Amino acid sequence: MSKPIVTFKACRATEINFVNKLENGTRVEFERKYGYNVKYAPNGTCIGEFTVETYDKEHPDKFAIKAVMQGIFAYDSSAQKELIHVASFKELFPYMRAMVATVSTAAGVPPIHIPNFDIESQNIYRFGNS
């Protein structure tokens, strides 16, 4: 059995902002922005920081959620950083998705679900072989 690229250790929300100033019954069309960065420590751990912004396309000042979550991972130091980046994102994504749905539900609106997407098809920073 091969060694995993990353091992999830913990996560925590570092920022949650929720704005809901829309009138009841207002139709909302969502726009989303995502960001994900990884910082590496020499001791074999890294911190992935995932930012999600979901807002109403027509009235972003009246309905918006911004959430920032950090995940702590042990990583295989022999793995390429691009693979660590992708693997850590895939581990952290379900926690962020659950948090956004929970926050929106607790605020009295239907749960906001972040759609699944394939990070490997996105433009992420590619590391060279240096």
Query: What pLDDT score does 125 carry?
Result: 46
Structural domain contains residue 12: yes
Residue-number span of the structural domain to which 31 is assigned: 6-121
Structural domain contains residue 104: yes
How is residue 114 written in tokens?
């972040």
Assign 121 a pLDDT band (cuts: 50, 70, 90).
Answer: low
Distance separating alpha carbons of residues 89 and 120, to the nearest angstrom: 10
Structural domain contains residue 91: yes
Express each pLDDT in 73-117 by its tens digit. Answer: 999 999 999 999 999 999 999 999 999 999 999 988 889 999 887
Structural domain contains residue 1: no
* Total domain count, the chain: 1
Structural domain contains residue 23: yes
Q: Which residue has the tokens 């920081």?
A: 49
3-state DSSP assignment of residue 23: coil
CATH number where 104 lies: 3.10.420.10
Distance separating alpha carbons of residues 67 and 55, to the nearest angstrom: 12
